[in-house]
Amino acid sequence: MQGLQGFDILEFDPLNSKSAGSYVDSVMATSVVNQFITTADVHNDKTVSNNKRLKRSLDYDSESDSCSENTKKLKPNSVHNDSINLIDGLSISSHDHQYTQNKEKVDDICELKSLVVGLASSMNQFCDIITKRMGDIETNIPKQVAQMIDQKVSEEMKKVKEQFKTELKTVTEKVSSLEQSYADVLKQNKNQSQALSEDKLSVVIKNFPETEKENTSRKVGGLIKDGLRLKNIQVAAVERKINKIPGKHGVIIVKFQNSDDKQKVMEKKRELKDSRNYKDVYIDNAIPKAQRLMNSNLRSIVKAIGNDKLEIRGSVIRPKYAKSTRDTNTHNRRDDPDDTQINNDTQSGNHGYYNRHNNRGRGNTRGGNNQRRGAECVRYYNLHILGLAETHLTGNTGINIDGYTWFGLNRKEIHIRAKTGSGGVGILIRNDVRDEFNINIVEDNTDGIIWVKFEDKNFAHNCFYVCVIYLPPENSTRAVNIHEFFDILMTNIYTIPQGKPFYICGDWNSRCSDLPDSIEGIDKLPQRNVVDFQHNGYGNIFCDFLTDVNCCILNGRKTLHNDFTFVSTRGMSVVDYCVLPYEHLDNFNNFNVIRTSSIVEQINALGKYDLKKAMPDHSLLTWDFTLNFDSNCCINTQTRGTSETKKKYDTRNLPEDWLCQESTIAEIDNAIRFLENSIADQSNIDNMYENFVKIVKTEMCNKLPAKNIVLSNGFNINKRRRCKKEWWNEELTLLWNEVCKAEKVWIKCKIKRNKRELRHIFVNKRRIFDKAVQSSKRKYWYSLQEDLIKSCDNPKEFWRKIGKIGVGSERRSFIPMEVKLSDESVSCDKNVVLDKWKCEFSNMLNRNNHNSVEYIHSNENVYDDYLDSFISYEEVFNVLLS
């Protein structure tokens, strides 16, 4: 068993390749055995066996003790040699030799037996290990499989649980939403039913004037008692609704306690038209909001169908003329039934009278659609400049009247099936005016706006501009973007040369009531006489536009007769205006409004025409426009544009070494020495002064900063503007310089493509400047108000600031050069005014029948202790304080 020595069968793993390999090596490899030395009797050389057996090294055990008790261990010669070295020279007998052979056989059998037993034991142990390992495998594999299955199932179950929770949450939210929706539906139905029940007991009061801090309940009670003459009417609730349209009064919702009270009110509501205070008030049944929206939609559909815009084919509402780019508007161009400006006119205008030094401009007129009737009206008034709006001309057609020339702009886009035109503006100019002026259309790119320039043929710098506009109504089918419309007008105004007079007239369709058209307190304008106290959405924008461009309304100022400009069966309003700059207001006088009925009577048109078709509903506006042109003025072409450069030194900060250099001191000493030694005559003094000036000037050029100033015609063009306006500041100066610079660049540009861009830049800069001016005016005025409010506690300071404002100084320094004559007319002629003053002062100071007052001598003395008592200091102080 020497070959199995050191083999641990317990560590053998049959399933491990490394263990199997080591096992095979341990069994099959050459073992290290011990060499045995055997002592035997050896015969001679012939009888000695040459057979050298190699024996396997065996372990000693109980079975081999008997076979090896006479044997002796031999020292091996090498590790890999198992042979037994016999001692030569010994003689072994044959008997011993036989014995030895037998013994060797026995030893081999014993050794083989031991090997078989060891192998069997090893195999048994190996089988036990294999069996144990297989048992372990059979036991572990199901556990591992079960563990893997459990882990996989757990993960899948976790995912399923999470998905289930998500779906459950979604379902829960949907159920909650359905419950909330159901509750909302119930609540809405409840509210609707409650609203319906409230609407059954409610009425709507319209056109009831709204006042500040009003008591609505008390006003409604007064309406019921005084207007309807009802008593014992129980009102449950009163509410004033806010109207989103500025200028219109909100309706009042009145809820009664019972239906009987409401029925009484509805039966008596017709009596309001006979009441002086409530004739414009209307009472209607309250309608639910859904019904109001439905009614509004139906009105829009019916209105559209009525204007031939839509048609119904089956159950589909579709445009009737799909190929048309713009809708027709031939009969009713104002679609708002509540607007009192609705009319069916075809012409409107602005017309005037011209004189070489006194140009009478006349305002806004409306004519019929027959040129013959219009020509008769024009000849009757002998107009020089006539502006027309809504001419209803198409293409390039115009108006032909003997003695007049037509300049017009017809609407470019009209409906393809329109029988007549729509819109359109133009100007009729009398031929004698045309002979004295070069007349050109300077702007006609926008529908409804035409600008005409009048330039004096003798002096080209004498010119003025006339503009006629037509702004479609607010809710018209041909309505335009009003902000873009006014921006275009603003751009046109800015491109007019500075200081040149102009006016804009026409149909603005804007009711501005008594809204201010200027900055009150800053722009000193005459008070405007207002006849129409209603305003619409365009009115506020129109007044803001006037404030931005520094223009005002002529209507109601310097008037002969002011009236409504629109009069029809639907109402009265003021929508036609003449607009002009602040600074040229003094050139406009005798504004007059003539109704169409008066024109018909004056031209004896009764019975000649069908007035139902020919009579417009807009009035004629007239005014006198004076042009202060100087006929003798001329321009000196030799001196105009000449400039001179001057060098200006900054002497505020002189350097420390001023006139301290040795060369400068030596020159000054020489000059003094020359002056002392020279003869004292004028020429020597002048020469010495020139030398000294030269010395100082040289020092200034070397040591002081300087700048060049350009003098144009003797004036310093770079000098800071000193304006008497207190609101002017440095920012406005810079903005104005930018405006002037942009204007010069635009005017001098000769390239048409660049000129348009430069014009746009100039207009933007001018717009910024105007807004800054208005803002500065407002800030200055508000600052004065704040200063006056803060000075209320100090009367002395208060009246001092009042004096600074200049209310009294203006009244003292300015005496109007006008007098009122005996026929109540006002004359501005200087000779007439002086003669009138002379007569009045003469009659006042040199009366023929006057009683002279003689000096009365009286020796009577009246004694009164109270009056003769001493006046104390406290009495004087109290009187002064009071």
User: Cα(858)–Cα(233) distance, rounded to whole angstroms?
Assistant: 80
Q: What's the pTM?
A: 0.43
β-partners of residue 621 are: 593
pLDDT at position 492: 87
Rounded (10°) angle between helices 482-494 and 752-790 = 100
- By the 8 A CB rule, do 348 and 363 touch? no
**How many separate domains does the chain show?**
3
Clarify whether residues 464 and 567 are in a common domain.
yes
Q: How far apart, in Å, are the Cα atoms of 851 and each of 471, 477, 844, 846, 847?
A: 69, 79, 14, 12, 10
- By the 8 A CB rule, do 577 and 508 touch? yes
Of the residues 233, 266, 286, which one is the last residue of a structural domain? 286
Clarify whether residues 103 and 223 are in a common domain.
no
Q: Within a domain: residue 70?
A: yes
Clarify whether residues 365 and 453 are in a common domain.
yes
Clarify whether residues 276 and 351 are in a common domain.
no
pLDDT at position 1: 44
DSSP string, 84-100: PPP-TT----HHHHHHH
Q: Within a domain: residue 549?
A: yes
**CB half-sphere exposure, 526, CA atoms < 13 A:** 16
**Which residues does 593 contact at the CB level (< 8 Å), separation at least 6?**
555, 559, 561, 562, 563, 564, 565, 619, 620, 621
Clarify whether residues 245 and 394 are in a common domain.
no
- By the 8 A CB rule, do 364 and 620 touch? yes
Residue 61, by phi and psi: left (phi above 0), alpha (psi -120 to 50) or beta? beta
- By the 8 A CB rule, do 391 and 425 touch? yes
Of the residues 126, 141, 175, which one is the last residue of a structural domain? 175
Q: Within a domain: residue 617?
A: yes
- By the 8 A CB rule, do 201 and 256 touch? yes
**Which residues does 802 contact at the CB level (< 8 Å), separation at least 6?**
788
Three-point CA angle 761, 766, 771, nearest 5°: 130
**Phi first, then psi: what are they for 647, rounded to 5°?**
-100, 125
* CATH number, domain with residue 208: 3.30.70.1820
Clarify whether residues 607 and 469 are in a common domain.
yes
- By the 8 A CB rule, do 512 and 543 touch? yes
**Token pair 């009441």: residue:** 275
Q: What letter represents residue 418's amino acid?
A: A
Clarify whether residues 522 and 618 are in a common domain.
yes
**Which residues does 489 contact at the CB level (< 8 Å), separation at least 6?**
449, 467, 469, 504, 545, 549
- By the 8 A CB rule, do 383 and 405 touch? no
User: Cα(228)–Cα(203) distance, rounded to whole angstroms?
Assistant: 14
**Token pair 């209310």: residue:** 807
**CB half-sphere exposure, 826, CA atoms < 13 A:** 9
Clarify whether residues 563 and 501 are in a common domain.
yes
Q: How far apart, in Å, are the Cα atoms of 359 and each of 587, 626, 803?
A: 9, 4, 39
Q: Within a domain: residue 576?
A: yes
User: Cα(423)–Cα(400) distance, rounded to whole angstroms?
Assistant: 18
Clarify whether residues 158 and 216 are in a common domain.
no
Which residues of the chain, if any, have pLDDT below 50? 1-7, 9-12, 29-92, 315, 321-369, 633-641, 713-718, 720-721, 807-813
* CATH number, domain with residue 396: 3.60.10.10
Identify the burial level of 588 via C-beta atoms within 10 angstroms of its C-beta, where 0-12 means exposed, 13-18 middle and 19 or more buried.
buried
Q: Within a domain: residue 765?
A: no
Residue 604, by phi and psi: left (phi above 0), alpha (psi -120 to 50) or beta? left
User: Cα(186)–Cα(203) distance, rounded to whole angstroms?
Assistant: 26
In terms of residue numbers, what domain contains 16? 2-175
Three-state SS for 121-180 is HHHHHHHHHHHHHHHHHHHHHHHHHHHHHHHHHHHHHHHHHHHHHHHHHHHHHHHHHHHH
User: Cα(157)–Cα(167) distance, rounded to whole angstroms?
Assistant: 15
Question: What's the count of helices (H) and strands (E) in the chain, helices before strands?
Answer: 20, 29
Smallest Cα–Cα separation from 451: which of 417, 478, 488?
488
- Parallel, antiparallel, or unpaired: how do β-strands 551-553 and 559-561 relate? unpaired
Smallest Cα–Cα separation from 371: which of 399, 403, 410?
399
Clarify whether residues 169 and 206 are in a common domain.
no
Rounded (10°) angle between helices 752-790 and 537-548 = 100
Give me the sign of the Cα torsion angle 118, 124, 125, 130: positive
β-partners of residue 252 are: 205, 240
829-872 pLDDT, tens digit each: 888 888 888 888 888 777 655 555 555 555 667 677 777 777 88
Of the residues 576, 596, 625, which one is the last residue of a structural domain? 625
**Which residues does 437 contact at the CB level (< 8 Å), separation at least 6?**
454, 455, 456, 457
Q: Within a domain: residue 123?
A: yes
Clarify whether residues 482 and 401 are in a common domain.
yes
Q: How many CB atoms lie within 10 A of CB 689?
A: 12
**476 is written with which tokens?**
């018209």
Q: Within a domain: residue 551?
A: yes
- By the 8 A CB rule, do 667 and 695 touch? yes
**Phi first, then psi: what are they for 467, rounded to 5°?**
-125, 135
Smallest Cα–Cα separation from 15: which of 130, 153, 103?
130
Q: Within a domain: residue 682?
A: no
Clarify whether residues 166 and 258 are in a common domain.
no
